[in-house]
Amino acid sequence: MKFTTLSFTSVLAISVAAKHDGSFAVLRFNNEGGKFSTEGRMDPVVSPGTASGHSHGIMGGSNFGLTVNGPDLLDSKCTNALIVNDKSNYWVPNLWFQSPKNSTFKKVPLDYMSVYYKFDTTNDDIKAFPSGLKIVSGDAMKRTPPATGGLQLDPSQGEIQAVQWTCPTANTNEDRYPPGSDGTKAGMVDPNNKGSGAGFPVVNCDGVYSPLRQDIHLPSCYNPAAGLDDYANNMAFPTANGNALDCPEGWTHVPHLFYEIYYSTTDFENEWDEDGAHQPFVLSNGDRTGFSSHADFISGWDVDTLQTMIDGCNAGDAGMDKCPKIIGGINTSDKCQIESAVPDPSEDWITALPGNNPLAGWGV
């Protein structure tokens, strides 16, 4: 058979095309105003069986607790995820406001949380998470500035920077970070987006549609040799390969999770005065910089349900609940509040962070 130049080029393009062209769908949650599903000093990934060092806000399946093993979450009686067959848990450290007047702390209410399920452009087959897979992204001990205020998710390019803060403002030209900041005294602006950066911004985030937002990317390459529980070694970010993002040989490419957590920081706009250099928020681990934010995940997905979405859903911002052929259906209203094993103090204002975490970072 004789190929024309055009037909040969077309065949070549097909032969090198990525197995997955890239798509995404946003998972949303039903939640009581200002609340996660549960909150408190619980982290069954890093501190199984005991109270964790700092408090977290958790979304998802009702079988969350101090210990979660293997497929425990699949037996959850409820979830606040909009997809019934997603009994996974998703969590982050809580955010607190420290009063400039008397140094007491008040928890910042949750506005809402979304999780983007990104199905990367890749030469790999993307597979559903195995039940019970535990993932951690970020470093809870970090107090020093990263190499850049921007994201850096390619391990071949140096230190991973998977955490950012985004600060929409009514004045879109406003500097959210001190110009020229290197991160030693205040946050660092993203060189490609003045509304985002590493560390907390120094202005009130009063955007029309969004207050302060935390952005965290989770790695999407799973090493079966490390196993489900070894969160320190079982995951890595994929490496750029042309236009594709590929995992190491023998690893499994799973969905790339991206957490967006919106906080009602405007509740405190009259409690502090902007000076262009300082800010009043602190993470529950005592971090005043915001560099140490992190995210945890345990998969409680029905594998067939998630695989169907990977293979056939590109709902985008419309939401995962708009995917076709959702096995198990949609959760229209269940907020699935979970009793906390180690609850935070009930008082509005407290004199020390839960776990008595000392402050560290700027100004300490």
CB atoms within 10 A of CB 179: 8
Amino acid residing at 117: Y
pLDDT at 4: 37
Q: What is the mean pLDDT of the chain?
A: 93
Read off the pTM. Answer: 0.94
Closest by CA to 334, choosing from 81, 76, 89, is 81
Question: Is residue 139 pLDDT above 80, yes or no?
Answer: yes
pLDDT score for 34: 81
Structure tokens at 302: 């029905």
Q: Is the pLDDT of residue 17 over 90?
A: no
Average pLDDT of the segment spanning 8-36 = 71
Q: Is the pLDDT of residue 16 over 60?
A: no
Taking residues 36-44, report their average pLDDT.
Answer: 97
Q: Which residue has the higher pLDDT, 288 or 22?
A: 288
H helices of the chain, where? 5-16, 303-312
Q: What is the pLDDT of residue 6?
A: 37
Whether residue 161 has pLDDT greater than 50: yes
Structure confidence by residue, pLDDT tens digits, 109-133: 999 999 999 999 999 999 999 999 9
For 238-267, what is the mean pLDDT? 97
For 7, which DSSP code? H
Here the tokens at position 168 are 């929409």
The b-or-e profile of 286-305 (16+ CB within 10 A means b, else e) is bbbbbbbbbbbbbbbbbeeb
Closest CA to 149 of 182, 183, 188, 186: 188
Give the whole-number percent of the chain exceeding pLDDT 70: 95
Confidence band (pLDDT; 50, 70, 90) for 3?
very low
The single residue listed with the structure tokens 């069986």 is: 49
The tens digit of pLDDT for each residue in 82-115 reads 999 999 999 999 999 999 999 999 999 999 999 9
pLDDT in tens, 164-223: 999 999 999 999 999 999 999 999 999 999 999 999 999 999 998 889 999 999 999 999
Sheet holding 134-138, edge to edge: 38-40, 56-60, 89-93, 294-298, 134-138
- How far apart, in whole angstroms, are the C-alpha atoms of residue 120 and residue 302? 21
Q: Are 176 and 189 in contact (CB under 8 A)?
A: yes
CA distances from 65 to 48, 76, 78, 86, 293 (A): 9, 11, 14, 17, 21
